[in-house]
Each structure stands twice: as C-alpha cells, then as structure tokens.
Amino acid sequence: MTVSEIHARLVDKFGSDAIPALNTEAIDHWVEVAADRMAEVAEFLKQDEALQFDNLTDLCGVDYFAADPKQLKKLDHEPHVEVVYQLYSFPLKHRCTVKVKLPRWKNDEEGVLPEVPSVAHIWAIADWHERETFDLMGIRFLNHPNLSRILCPDDWVGHALRKDYEFPLEYHGIRGM
C-alpha cells in the first residue's frame, strides 16, 4: 500500500480533522495526525486488516526552531515540534511515516511541555522511545506507564535536543564547559 492509499483509508475512518495533511513531495511520504487523536489512530494502524503496522521502527522528536534570530527568519515554517513515527508492517511489507505536530510549549506558556497520547500500550518499544523523546526533546506523553528520564540523570535540568537548550555551567559541583 502506498502512503496516499493509507492516508485515504485513515481519512475514511477518522475524517480529515484527525488526519490534517499528507505530503507526497518529501523523500519519505508522510501522513500527519492530529495530536489528540494519535492513540486511536495508532490502534487502527496496528489492528486494521489492510494496514497491519505491527512494528514501530522508530519514534523521535524534531524541534523546528533556531536559537539564532537570523537563522530563525530563514526557516520557512512556524516554530513547532514534531513527533515522527516510522512504521513497518511485517506481514504486508510496507512502510509509512506518521507525524504529529505540536506547539513548542503547551498553550504558548514557556516551560510547559506539549502533550501527545502515548502509544506504549500498542507497541511495547514505544515505552523506551517515548521516555527518550521526553528526556531529550521535552514532549510529555499522556498515559505513559513510567515517564521518567532514561539517558540523562533524573535531576537533570532542561531537554538537550531543544534548539534553545543552554548547557549547564555546573552539575552537582562539577564544572561544565
């Protein structure tokens, strides 16, 4: 199944409000899913006979932002963060990229992390990938069984892969850069 067909099937089931966009210009075609509907769409992606995406190969976050104001002007999109899901189906051998777009901060309040429903109950590996994305990108996954930091220490401040992350000068008395 091509990504356009997958998109058509998802729009049929959930309506175009839940599936706002399809991009076939990119190298890997992708489908966008509304943030609050992600859990049910993911459930459908795994269970549906014609889709059967039983493998989540990757889940990561991307921060579309630049800390430097000059570079920020050059970006041709509004600052936002994305969660990118790479799916693969073992029985049907097809791939699909699913994206969820989120504001950089929830309700535009600086420091309040954006939220997206967790898919850890659908694909077991999402548990760790979501913890990593939370740790490094600062995205909160709702209903995650144990959303704690995984690569950084528990008391680390900030999320390192955010473009405006500032390296700490000190950590527990250890001087940084």
Question: What does the binding site for other proteins look like in residue numbers (CB under 8 A)?
Answer: 26-28, 54-58, 60, 62-64, 74-76, 84, 86, 90, 93, 97, 123-125, 127-128, 132, 136, 149-153, 160-161
Shortest Cβ distance from residue 85 to other proteins (Å)? 10
CB of 14 or CB of 65, closer to other proteins: 65
Tokens of 156: 């680390």
Separation of alpha carbons 156 and 163, rounded Å: 17
CB of 95 or CB of 106, closer to other proteins: 95
Q: How many CB atoms lie within 10 A of CB 69?
A: 7
CB 85 within 8 A of CB 59: yes
Q: CB-based burial of residue 55 (10 Å sphere; 0-12 exposed, 13-18 middle, 19+ buried)?
A: middle
The crossing angle, in degrees rounded to 10, of helices 38-47 and 3-14 is 120
CB of 107 or CB of 167, closer to other proteins: 167
According to DSSP, residue 36 is labeled G
CB of 107 or CB of 172, closer to other proteins: 172
